[in-house]
């Protein structure tokens, strides 16, 4: 059967799709100059054996009822009908909400879900819990920018304004002399933007800038973080030590009187206090190039010459998200801003600070004049929340105190957790600890398209459709195209979209009208579209009506060119446009943060030793960064992702010297381990990686050989078996997943086959 191609969109690009005799063919959006190969992951995904066909209940939960259970992650499932599933789920939610209140339900449901404004799973969960039981314990911030999203409001007033609405690539390509990037600008990362991106333009802009004369310098443990098109310099740095390097650069600028004292006096507070710290007046320790060199591994001479190369130039500083996904991750974020200020660059064309530039396809882009509205989530009557990465802490330590952003809060006592559109066994650190945490629950409910490790820990699993099996509207505020996401296939098995599932549950809870407002999914799309259309009309932007839009499949929206406005406005008119900080200026010293009195994040940026440093037991750093071949764990079973594994295992990369000294060869299976567990991975050897560092990307589905082991062995290569589950600091409590320390050896036994994509044992009645 051949069907007319339908327009569609995903977090990694827009495309058209067609089913030819049950084979899905995906073609990138014609207007995309540099489409992502991740699109290929769709082609074998619709009917993969790891998809979930019917609702499921975990055997232990069915037999024993709700309650803590060590069998989660290691149990059989029983296929049930939707009627049975609705009855079990609505009954259990009523029981928990009536007995313990909505403050015992965790509905954070962190995760990227799929593109599509309406079926965004997390929004659906939140709306459902708000409209049926009056709320839920939520999570704040993200795994992406846990530390940055707390510190940046204190020191520059707003995160979004210097990240997503920061200086644009277009401006950089025209004006920047030096782009100094901590953590690089890997094109693998800007392939992706939440909500979708129809035009991948980073490669083109980087090429244009380099041709015009921009010097790119990438400070990173990996050479591959610098795109070839940048024709730049790779400065290899020990993971987690950028704060020391930047302090030394500031020391050199100050010592040579290269710091822009006029800018620092007019637009900043606290430079004098930082200078006292740099020069040793604060505590007797000088933070000069020699001092930093011993910490970060870059020679003192190169640190000094780098400072000289920045002086007098139009400089853009960027700090990747990755740097703050680590112990004391607040510090490099703060120091990147301070460095740009000491150079007097914020607010100049192509100059200043672009936090997370290149980390996602949103950054450095223009914003649409009007954006597509989000699904309203209703009112959450529960006040309790956690910083998102404190999940296991919360479940394991109910009632205990924790610090967050100057407050002392308590972990709530959670009985039931609900997850749709996220995979904590992908995103969270220390997976053995996460399993223990989930085992404390009475009930875990998960909606999933496939048998992820999270689904395998659930008590009730509800099968969700993929976007290809339903209607939606795809768009992001930084993408000028809006797409009709038209279905290309029927739902797999009995899968339903999250909205329909929640609508049925709301009906059984007597709250259908409150949840649906009487609308079908199609009517919601029309309703949301109409709201956008009205906003457009108010601004004299003409757009087709919904039916025409649906027929054409796409439309183009006008954009604003206001990137970088926060610091540009400050520079041009500080009285009229003070920053939304207590001083109205850039805070190099923050009295607010100082008054919090947390030793792990004092009032000005500092170098603090991480607890995780290579030692005799764990002599190597592990970088667990974003995968090039997929988005997180999504469609890890997809064609492109699988084609980039070896023996079915994720590939780790290490330096030839580190391999040689351990007798490890290309193509070997290696075992990477530390006190939390071990993973198997296939070996690639590369000089593009710093000696002393191993890289293993995230995204391989957790595949423990013995699910109940205290120190599990993952056969597939999921680095979160190894990462440490601690907060970045008492200030932000962000996740520290990016960097840990490990040992590596050749795996001498016969390597066990990967079983990540084999469904669990299911009993059909
Ligand atoms: N060690 C380490 N860990 C990390 C990171 C790191 O750098 N190092 N990075 C972190 C970062 S930045 C992030 S953002 C997180 C990402 O973590 P997540 O966002 O949790 O990862 P995803 O794989 O995107 O999970 C989305 C899940 O939703 C499912 N899904 C997709 N569409 C739908 C739908 O319509 N309905 C339902 N019900 N389900 C759907 C997918 O199948 C998938 O399992 O990981 C973090 N974890
Ligand atoms: N293909 C693809 N793209 C993605 C994603 C994906 O899953 N797949 N995820 C998206 C998401 S949700 C996010 S939040 C962003 C994340 O954006 P980032 O966090 O910036 O991305 P990462 O790839 O984790 O890290 C970028 C690079 O930082 C370097 N790095 C790590 N530690 C250090 C350090 O201590 N110092 C220095 N100088 N460099 C260091 C690593 O070499 C790494 O390759 O990526 C997005 N883009
Ligand atoms: Mo992220």
* 77 flagged as catalytic: no
Question: Do 401 and 534 belong to one domain?
Answer: yes
Task: Determine if the pTM surpasses 0.85.
Answer: yes
Percent of the chain with pLDDT over 70: 100
Calpha distance 377→131 (Å, rounded)? 8
Question: Do 450 and 381 belong to one domain?
Answer: yes
Calpha distance 652→358 (Å, rounded)? 23
Write down the pLDDT at residue 5: 85
Q: Tell me the CA end-to-end span of the chain in Å, nearest whole number.
A: 34
User: Ligand 2, closest atom to CA 145?
Assistant: 14
Q: Is 388 in the pocket of ligand 1 (CB under 6 A)?
A: no
* 577 flagged as catalytic: no
Write down the pLDDT at residue 22: 86
Which mutation among 189, 242, 621, 622 tests ligand 2's pocket best, with the greatest number of atoms within 8 A of CB? Answer: 189
Between the CA of residue 596 and those of 148, 324, 599, 649, 735, what are the distances in Å? 17, 20, 9, 45, 20
Tens-digit pLDDT profile for residues 247-257: 999 999 999 99
Tens-digit pLDDT profile for residues 460-476: 999 999 999 999 999 99
Q: Cβ neighbours of residue 159 under 8 Å, at least 6 residues apart?
A: 145, 148, 149, 152, 153, 355
Tokens of 751: 């390597």
Write down the pLDDT at residue 575: 97
CATH number of the domain encompassing residue 434: 3.40.50.740
Question: Using a 6 Å CB cutoff, which residues line ligand 2?
Answer: 144, 182-184, 186, 188-189, 191-192, 219-222, 225, 237, 239-240, 242, 320-323, 325-326, 359-360, 623, 625-628, 631-632, 738-739
Average pLDDT over residues 498-502: 98
**Position 3 pLDDT exceeds 90:** no
Write down the pLDDT at residue 611: 96
Catalytic residue among 12, 77, 86, 110: 110
In a domain, 544, yes or no: no
Tens-digit pLDDT profile for residues 369-381: 999 999 999 999 9
Q: Is 141 in the pocket of ligand 1 (CB under 6 A)?
A: no
Question: Do 300 and 155 belong to one domain?
Answer: yes
In a domain, 13, yes or no: no
Question: Do 138 and 162 belong to one domain?
Answer: no
Question: Do 640 and 584 belong to one domain?
Answer: no
Between the CA of residue 718 and those of 25, 285, 430, 678, 679, what are the distances in Å? 30, 40, 10, 9, 7
Higher pLDDT, 420 or 4: 420
Question: Do 526 and 636 belong to one domain?
Answer: no
Question: Do 99 and 232 belong to one domain?
Answer: no
Count other Cβ atoms within 10 Å, centred on residue 272: 12
In a domain, 216, yes or no: yes
CATH number of the domain encompassing residue 300: 3.40.228.10
Question: Do 647 and 509 belong to one domain?
Answer: no
Helices of type H across 458-582: 498-508, 512-516, 521-538, 546-552, 565-572
**Position 571 pLDDT exceeds 80:** yes
Question: Do 122 and 152 belong to one domain?
Answer: no
Q: Which of 319, 308, 317, 304 is nearest to 348 (CA)?
A: 317
User: Ligand 1, closest atom to CA 462?
Assistant: 38
Q: Is 144 in the pocket of ligand 1 (CB under 6 A)?
A: yes
- CA 264 from centre of chain: 33
Tens-digit pLDDT profile for residues 204-230: 999 999 999 999 999 999 999 999 999
Tens-digit pLDDT profile for residues 26-68: 999 999 999 999 999 999 999 999 999 999 999 999 999 999 9
Q: Using the mean position of ligand 3's atoms as its centre, give its distance from the Cα of residue 112 in Å.
A: 8
Tens-digit pLDDT profile for residues 630-667: 999 999 999 999 999 999 999 999 999 999 999 999 99
Q: What's the structural domain count of the chain?
A: 3
Question: Do 353 and 386 belong to one domain?
Answer: no
Q: Which of 376, 363, 461, 346 is nearest to 89 (CA)?
A: 461
Q: Is 676 in the pocket of ligand 1 (CB under 6 A)?
A: no
In a domain, 18, yes or no: no
In a domain, 337, yes or no: yes
Ligand sitting nearest the alpha carbon of 424: 1
Percent of the chain with pLDDT over 90: 99
Confidence band (pLDDT; 50, 70, 90) for 241?
very high
Question: Do 251 and 210 belong to one domain?
Answer: yes
Q: Using the mean position of ligand 3's atoms as its centre, give its distance from the Cα of residue 635 in Å.
A: 16
In a domain, 112, yes or no: yes
Residues of the domain holding 282: 148-358+578-590
Q: Using the mean position of ligand 1's atoms as its centre, give its distance from the Cα of residue 189 in Å.
A: 15
In a domain, 272, yes or no: yes
Q: Is 634 in the pocket of ligand 1 (CB under 6 A)?
A: yes
**Position 2 pLDDT exceeds 70:** no
Nearest CA, atom 4, ligand 2: 189
Confidence band (pLDDT; 50, 70, 90) for 21?
confident
CATH number of the domain encompassing residue 727: 2.40.40.20
Q: Cβ neighbours of residue 669 under 8 Å, at least 6 residues apart?
A: 647, 649, 680, 681, 682, 683, 746, 747, 751
Calpha distance 17→380 (Å, rounded)? 38
Question: Do 218 and 341 belong to one domain?
Answer: yes
Asked if 676 contacts 640 with a C-beta cutoff of 8 angstroms, the reply is no
Tokens of 513: 């009208």
**Position 628 pLDDT exceeds 90:** yes
Catalytic residue among 112, 234, 271, 621: 112
Average pLDDT over the chain, rounded to an integer: 97
């Amino acid at each position: 059967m051949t069907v007319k191609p339908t327009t569609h969109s995903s977090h990694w690009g827009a495309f058209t799709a067609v089913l030819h005799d049950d084979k899905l063919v995906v073609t990138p959006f014609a207007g995309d100059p540099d489409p992502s190969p991740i699109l290929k992951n769709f082609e074998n995904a619709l009917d993969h054996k790891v998809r979930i066909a019917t609702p499921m209940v975990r055997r232990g939960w069915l037999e024993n009822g709700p309650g803590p259970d060590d069998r989660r992650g290691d149990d059989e499932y029983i296929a049930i009908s939707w009627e049975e599933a609705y009855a079990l789920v609505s009954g259990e939610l009523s029981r928990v909400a009536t007995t313990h209140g909505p403050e015992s339900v965790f509905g954070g449901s962190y995760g990227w879900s799929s593109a599509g404004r309406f079926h965004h799973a997390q929004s659906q969960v939140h709306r459902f819990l708000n409209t049926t039981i009056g709320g839920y314990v939520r999570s704040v911030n993200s795994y992406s920018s846990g530390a940055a999203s707390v510190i940046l409001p204190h020191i520059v007033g707003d995160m979004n304004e210097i990240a997503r609405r920061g200086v644009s690539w277009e401006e950089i390509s025209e004006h920047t002399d030096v782009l100094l990037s901590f953590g690089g600008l890997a094109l693998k990362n800007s392939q992706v933007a939440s909500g979708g991106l129809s035009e991948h333009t980073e490669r083109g802009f980087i090429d244009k800038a380099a041709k015009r004369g921009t010097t790119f310098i990438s400070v990173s443990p990996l050479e591959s973080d610098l795109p070839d098109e940048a024709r730049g310099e790779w400065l290899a740095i020990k993971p987690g030590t950028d704060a020391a390097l930047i302090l030394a650069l500031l020391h050199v600028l100050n010592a040579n009187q290269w710091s822009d004292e006029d800018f620092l006096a007019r637009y900043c507070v606290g430079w004098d206090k930082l200078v006292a710290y740099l020069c040793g007046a604060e505590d007797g320790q000088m933070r000069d190039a020699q001092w930093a060199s011993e910490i970060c591994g870059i020679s003192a001479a190169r640190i000094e010459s780098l400072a000289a190369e920045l002086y007098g130039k139009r400089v853009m500083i960027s700090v990747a998200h990755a740097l703050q996904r680590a112990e004391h991750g607040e510090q490099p974020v703060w120091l990147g801003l301070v460095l740009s200020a000491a150079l007097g660059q914020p607010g100049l064309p192509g100059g200043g600070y672009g936090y997370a530039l290149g980390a996602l396809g949103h950054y450095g882009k223009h914003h649409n004049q009007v954006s597509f509205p989000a699904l309203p989530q209703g009112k959450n009557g529960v006040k309790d929340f956690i910083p998102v990465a404190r999940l296991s802490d919360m479940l394991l330590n109910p009632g205990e105190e924790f610090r967050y952003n100057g407050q002392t809060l308590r972990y709530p006592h959670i009985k039931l957790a609900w997850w749709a559109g996220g995979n904590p066994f992908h995103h969270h650190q220390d997976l053995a600890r996460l399993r223990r945490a989930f085992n404390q629950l009475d009930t875990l409910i998960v909606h999933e398209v496939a048998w992820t490790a999270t689904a395998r820990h659930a008590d009730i699993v509800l099968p969700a459709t993929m976007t290809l099996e339903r209607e939606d509207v795809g768009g992001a505020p930084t993408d000028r195209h809006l797409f009709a996401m038209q279905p290309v296939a029927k739902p797999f098995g009995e899968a339903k979209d999250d909205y329909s599932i929640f609508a049925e549950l709301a009906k059984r809870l007597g709250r259908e009208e409150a949840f649906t407002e009487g609308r079908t999914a199609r009517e919601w799309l029309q309703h949301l579209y109409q709201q956008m259309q009205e906003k457009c009309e108010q601004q004299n932007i003409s757009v087709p009506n919904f039916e025409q839009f649906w027929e054409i499949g796409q439309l183009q929206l006008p954009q604003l060119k206001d990137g970088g406005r926060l610091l540009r406005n400050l520079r041009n008119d500080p009285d009229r446009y003070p920053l939304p900080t207590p001083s109205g200026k850039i805070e190099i010293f923050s009295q607010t943060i100082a008054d919090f009195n947390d030793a792990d994040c004092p009032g000005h940026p500092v170098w603090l030793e991480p607890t995780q440093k290579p030692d005799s037991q764990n002599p190597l750093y592990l970088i667990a960064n974003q995968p090039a071949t997929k988005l997180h764990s999504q469609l890890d079973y997809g064609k492109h992702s699988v084609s980039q594994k070896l023996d079915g295992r994720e590939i780790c990369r290490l330096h030839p010297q580190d391999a040689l000294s351990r007798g490890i060869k290309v193509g070997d299976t290696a075992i990477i381990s530390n006190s939390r567990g071990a993973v198997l991975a296939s070996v690639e050897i590369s000089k593009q990686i710093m000696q002393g560092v191993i890289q293993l990307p995230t995204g391989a589905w957790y595949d423990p050989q013995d699910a109940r082991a205290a120190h599990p062995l993952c056969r597939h290569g999921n680095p979160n078996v190894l990462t440490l589950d601690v907060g970045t600091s008492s200030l932000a409590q962000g996740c520290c997943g990016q960097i840990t320390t490990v040992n590596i050896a050749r795996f001498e036994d016969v390597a066990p086959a990967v079983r990540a994509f084999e469904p669990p044992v299911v009993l059909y009645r």
